[in-house]
Amino acid sequence: MDKVDKIHQAHEFGKFAEEIASQYYLRNGYVILERNWRLRKTEIDLIAQKDDLIVIAEVKARSGEDEEALSAVTTDKRKRMIKAADFYLKSLPGLYNYRFDIITMTGNIEKYQLDVYEDAFLAADIF
């Protein structure tokens, strides 16, 4: 498999992971408000809502068992997510509680492990 095929395969696995993460939230009573919402250079993979709670979710997929998906959400990425989420939340009518989740998927499309880290980080801990 050449480099282009590996990049394409990783992209497809990432999209698959986002779809499985969306299904996880839907099964748990959430409504998906946004997928791949962008603010300038920052993308938020999923924004979901259940009652007065907004979830800002980052989805990370890794095909190798030795690859740590959770650590791929760096402090810099978390800062950008917080700033984008602040902009998004201020655009909504009313006030909402919110949390930041990280969802990781390791493996491949046929066999994977999904882990959900609710309240993975707090804005106060980053800034």
Instruction: List the pLDDT tens digit at each of the 127 positions of the chain.
Output: 677 667 667 778 889 999 999 999 999 999 999 999 999 999 999 999 999 999 999 999 988 765 576 778 889 999 999 999 999 999 999 889 999 999 999 988 899 999 999 999 988 777 6
pTM of the model: 0.89
Decide if 30 contacts 21 (C-beta within 8 A): no
